Homo-oligomer: A and B are copies of this chain.
């Protein structure tokens, strides 16, 4: 099915929208961070309010022009780039207002183009916490973060992006505005359109603003690296920590020897926490209410875990600066990975209890294909691992082009067999459409297609993302 090129409605768009809304089609709108997808062309429109979005959508729908919503451009599955045709690229970059911060209600209202770091800062200024946090927070925009239901490092405590949302304002594929910007905690007025748009990756409409939940700021925070003998010990350590501080465990990140080796190799300036690199370590981050000391809690957790042989060494951050340094190590791993150059990377999750077995069996499955290095790290407290496969030293990713499909298939088959997800936090985009078809539940897929057709009969919203364009 082909779409009308946006040039056909450009005159009508120019009539309906102010000149400033039209942006130059710079390269940024046609690229994505991993360089796998390249846009062919299009017209970039950056409206300033929901009315302008609605007018543009209505014209696109009437003429059957494809519409690609564009947030911060940081998505890792190609959801922001249409490879074919000349779509209307609808950028939220000029809708960046933080409309209201309501600390007394633990809520704030922001426009979809607001950058995550700015949202976090506005919450902090009001003495509150907006807990969504991830590597690209300096450029990712709220609309895209919600459209992809982003995860990140605090999911263990606060949930995914969708769990931070009270209400939405959005434009549906026919241009209809949904005014759902409520900040109510309890509201059972019909189907939950909010959660349907969140995670739909711009295929069912465009989120233009959101009412977000805020959290109390923890009174005391602290972090530690603990050396664990195995992934199973890491999980047992998590139970020990949660038993002691309840929801106070904010993040619980697994880091393997390979990740530390990659850091030494490509970023030697990153300080290693232990003289001898451990096979496995975890970064434990706590946030506690008034009256509790993070250091004392981390020491108590370490002591209890040592007794149970769940840890063998550890270092507790002695200052906020050191805590930031610990986090910087964790956040440097993706960059080190990029410098090494992965053959295949996988954003997967498995049930918590299955993690140790998955790591074991994943290694075997990859070894059956060839000799590779595996860097397995990530948000182990959520069962979400970044499971990345690299060439051996002296070789590079180009040498293994032919093996990539087999590796991906072996890892994904194993994840699926173990009840996991082959898209834990990055979404489907264009990269994983076939994976969704292969591993998704057929009943759910049929329902998804029916919903897509019902809300977007012309199939204009981000065609080719999530579901195959028809």
Contact = CB atoms under 8 A, between A and B. Distances in A.
Contacts of A104: 235, 239, 352-353
Given A191-B451, A198-B192, A451-B455, A349 B184 contact: yes
A196 interface: yes
A148 interface: yes
A198 B191 CA distance: 8
Contacts of A177: 443
Contacts of A275: none
Given A105-B353, A443-B179, A188 B421 contact: yes
Given A163-B163, A180-B441, A216-B243, A189 B155 contact: no
Contacts of A193: 444, 447-448
B186 A425 contact: yes
Interface string A427-455: 11000000010011101111110110111
Given A196-B196, A289-B248, A349 B186 contact: yes
Contacts of A352: 104-105, 185
Interface residues of A, number: 92
Chain B CB within 10 Å — which of A179, A198, A246 has the most? A246
Contact of A441 (B179, B383, B436): B179
Given A184-B349, A196-B451, 14 more contacts: A156-B185, A159-B163, A160-B185, A172-B443, A179-B441, A182-B351, A185-B383, A188-B421, A190-B466, A193-B448, A195-B195, A215-B247, A450-B454, A454-B454
Q: Which 8 A-B pairs have the closest CB atoms?
A: A195-B195, A454-B454, A246-B289, A178-B443, A187-B421, A185-B382, A450-B454, A186-B424
Interface of A: 102, 104-107, 148-149, 151, 155-156, 159-160, 162-163, 172, 176-180, 182-196, 198-200, 204, 215-216, 218-219, 235, 239, 242-248, 289-292, 349-353, 379, 382-384, 419-428, 436, 439-441, 443-448, 450-451, 453-455, 466-467
